[in-house]
Amino acid sequence: MMASIRFFKLFDMLARMGYKKTDLKTEIGLSSTTIAKLSKGESVTTDTILRICERFDVQPGDIMEYVPDEDQS
CATH assignment of the domain containing 47: 1.10.260.40
7 within a domain of the structure (yes/no):
yes
- 72 pLDDT band (50/70/90 cuts)? low
42 within a domain of the structure (yes/no):
yes
34: domain range?
A: 2-65
51 within a domain of the structure (yes/no):
yes
Query: How does pLDDT run across 47-68, given as a tens digit for each residue?
Result: 999 999 999 999 999 999 999 9
User: What torsion, rounded to 10 degrees, do the Cα atoms 55, 58, 63, 65 define?
Assistant: 150
Q: How many structural domains are present in the chain?
A: 1
13 within a domain of the structure (yes/no):
yes
pTM: 0.88
70 within a domain of the structure (yes/no):
no
Average pLDDT over residues 36-40: 96
Q: Which of 36, 33, 29 is nearest to 11 (CA)?
A: 36
Question: What is the C-alpha to C-alpha distance for residues 37 and 11, in angstroms, rounded to an integer?
Answer: 13
73 within a domain of the structure (yes/no):
no
